[in-house]
Amino acid sequence: MNNLGRVLIIAGSDSGGGAGVQADIKTVTALGGYAATAITAVTVQNTLGVTGVHPIPLEIIESQARAVLDDIGADVIKTGMLGDAATVALVARLLEEFAIPAVIDPVMVAKGGASLLAAEAVAIVRHRLVPHAALLTPNAPEAEALTGLAVATTDDLRRAGEALLVLGAKAVLMKGGHVAGDRVIDVLMTPDGETAFEGERIDSRHTHGTGCTLASACAAGIAQGLPLAAAVARAWDYVHEAMLQAPGFGAGHGPLNHGWPLRGRI
C-alpha cells in the first residue's frame, strides 16, 4: 500500500476508451497507482475522430475535484483536456489552493484533428498552469502554441523546453513524436540538465491516446515516490510496449493495450 500513489485526473472522457480519462485510469491502475477523476467534458468519439464535445458545468468540475481532495486526497494532480479558458482558470485556482504537484498535459488537438482547447485559453495555460507544473508534457505543436517558437527538430524542442522552464515549469518532457525521422527522441529538461529518451519509431496507426497515457504514467510514478527521471523512464517503456501490444481495434487511430503489465496476474 505504501506505493499506491494517488492521482487525481482532471480531464475529458473519451467514449472510445483510448484517450482521456479512460486511458488515464487504465494507465495509473496498470502501474499500481490509484486513480480518481474530475471530468471536464464528455466527448463523443471513436478511432475515426471526435464528433461531439459536451462540457461539464464549472461548479460540477470543481465539486468533483474537491470531493476527492477533501476525502481521499492526491499525491499528484494530472490534467488533460480542459477545453476552455474558464476551466483552465478553475484548475489553476485549485492548484494554487491545494499546492499538490501537477503533471500538466496541455491537450489542444485530438489525434484526428479536432480542437480540444479554445484558442483564447492558450494564454491562460501559458501564464496560469505552466508555472504550477512539476512536469509539463507538450508535443511539438503544443510547444509551438505555448512558446511561439517553431518546432521542427530536436534542437527546436530543446529551445522550446528552455522557454517553458523560463515560464515557470519545474520540468518539461518535450515529446518528439511529431518531429520527422526514423527515431523518436523525447527530452526531459529541468534547470539542472536534461535526459533524452530515444527509440525506433513504431510504424503503427494505433497511437490514439499516447500523450494522455505517457503523462498519466509519469504522474503515477511521481505519486509513488519515484525520482522524476525514473518515473519518466518507466512511463516511456510502458507506452512503448502498450503500442507494440495494441489490440488492433477500430478503423482509424486505434487504442493502445494499457493493460499489458497485468497479463497473467489476474
Task: List the domain boundaries for the chain.
Answer: 6-255
pLDDT, one tens digit per residue, over 224-248 is 999 999 999 999 999 999 999 999 9
Residue 192 has pLDDT above 50, yes or no: yes
Single pTM value for the model: 0.95
Which residue is catalytic, options 26, 207, 221, 254? Answer: 207
Active site residue 111: no
Name the CATH code of domain 6-255 (choices 3.40.1190.20, 3.40.50.880, 1.10.760.10, 3.90.1150.10).
3.40.1190.20
pLDDT, one tens digit per residue, over 200-210 is 999 999 999 99
Active site residue 209: yes
Residue 109 has pLDDT above 90, yes or no: no
What does the mean pLDDT of the chain come to?
94
Active site residue 218: no
Which residue is catalytic, options 33, 210, 218, 221? Answer: 210
Active site residue 211: yes
Contact in structure between 208 and 18 (CB atoms under 8 Å): yes
pLDDT of amino acid 115: 72
pLDDT, one tens digit per residue, over 10-46 is 999 999 999 999 999 999 999 999 999 999 999 999 9
Instruction: Give the per-residue SS3 of 53-115.
Output: EEECCHHHHHHHHHHHHHHCCCCEEEECCCECHHHHHHHHHHHHHHCCCEEECCCCECCCCCE
Active site residue 259: no
pLDDT of amino acid 117: 81
